[in-house]
Amino acid sequence: MKETIIAVVILFILIVIIRCIRIVPQAHVLVIERLGAFYAEWETGIHMLFPFIDRIAGKVSLKEKVVDFKPQSVITKDNVTMQIDTVVFYQITNPKQYVYGVENPLQAIENFSATTLRNIIGELELDSTLTSRDVINTKITEILDQATDRWGIKVNRVELKNILPPREIQDAMEKQMKAERERREKILQAEGDKKSQILVAEGEKESQILRAQAKKESAILEAEAEKQAMILRADAVREKQILEAKGEAEAIALVQQALADSLVKLNNSSPNEQVLRLKALEAFEKISDGKATKIIIPSEIQGLAGLATSIKAISED
């Protein structure tokens, strides 16, 4: 019986010791109280609780957390009611303050985020609200980070997930966007037509310039060709005249040479009076064939009978 009691006591002690052993995992912290007061913060590793005196006041994760809050009703500066839901990224940096700072940290963050969002949106109009997400996110993050610092919470960033204006506002915005798109389409089409007309005009201008240049060059080439042709014709006429002049000069020279030769031969043959009279008669015949209206007959030719006799004698000789 005594041994059984000892065994039970030993087993109880072992169970108590085992239950007092705590292993803290990575990125976690245990907040320990001793006799109801804060005692220590246990980080990663093996720790031992003092039985019946120490207790775990809270197990805190140091990882960054993401909380998606439900949509909040807000009113803009121009009295437009819309629904906005936010996403908060936060991290616990001081486990002691997190455990003892606020009763329900997540609810406190949600309520503070909603009131801050209402204050910021209340200073903006609808158009500014829809186009200023980054500004709103930055303001809410700064305000929440300052407010939650005493709770041991670090707000890294706040994002506006959805901004839902009333249905009639959405319809009006869709119509406005449609009208804006149609306006831009017309502007782009007009600009395209304008550029097309400009390109066509420039093409026509360049075409006319090229045609004028081609016509000018053609006229220049024709003038050059005509000039060359005239020069060649003038050269041909000049060469012809030179050749004709040379031919006539040579012919005259030959005639004169022949006449000179005949005179030499005549002189060498010692012609008598009858031959001279015969030559005179031949010369008179040539003169008479001309266009002269008056002919002076030498006195020697008057004796035609004697001349004929002389010719006959010469012929017989």
Q: What tens digit of pLDDT does each residue of 61-118 get? A: 999 999 988 888 888 888 888 888 899 999 999 999 999 988 888 888 999 889 999 9
Q: What is the pLDDT of residue 90?
A: 93
- 3-state helix, strand and coil shares in percent for the chain, rounded to the nearest 5: 65, 20, 15
To the nearest whole percent, how much of the chain has pLDDT over 70? 82
pLDDT of 13:
79
Q: Give the per-residue pLDDT at 172.
A: 75
Distances (CA, A) of 159 to 69, 76, 139, 185, 223: 11, 18, 11, 34, 84
User: pTM of the prediction?
Assistant: 0.53
What are the CB-based long-range contacts (under 8 Å, 24+) for 186-192? none
Two tokens, residue 292: 């002269």
Average pLDDT, rounded, for the chain? 81
pLDDT value of position 142: 92
Residues 94, 127 contacting (CB under 8 angstroms): no
Looking at per-residue confidence, does 258 or 218 come out higher? Answer: 218
Query: What CATH architecture applies to the domain 65-165?
Result: 2-Layer Sandwich (3.30)
pLDDT computed for residue 305 by the predictor: 44
pLDDT (tens digit per residue) in 180-239? 888 888 899 898 889 989 998 888 888 889 988 888 888 898 888 888 888 888 888 888
Under the banding of pLDDT at 50, 70 and 90, the label for residue 256 is confident
> Token pair for residue 74?
């807000």
Judge residue 265's burial from the number of C-beta atoms within 10 Å of its C-beta, 0-12 exposed, 13-18 middle, 19 or more buried.
exposed
Positive or negative: CA dihedral 84, 85, 91, 93: positive
User: Contact 145/155 with Cβ under 8 angstroms?
Assistant: yes
Integer-rounded Cα radius of gyration of the chain = 69
Q: Which of 25-29, 47-51, 252-256, 297-301 has the lowest mean pLDDT?
A: 297-301
Domain ranges of the chain: 2-61, 65-165, 174-268, 271-289+297-317
pLDDT at residue 178, rounded to an integer: 84
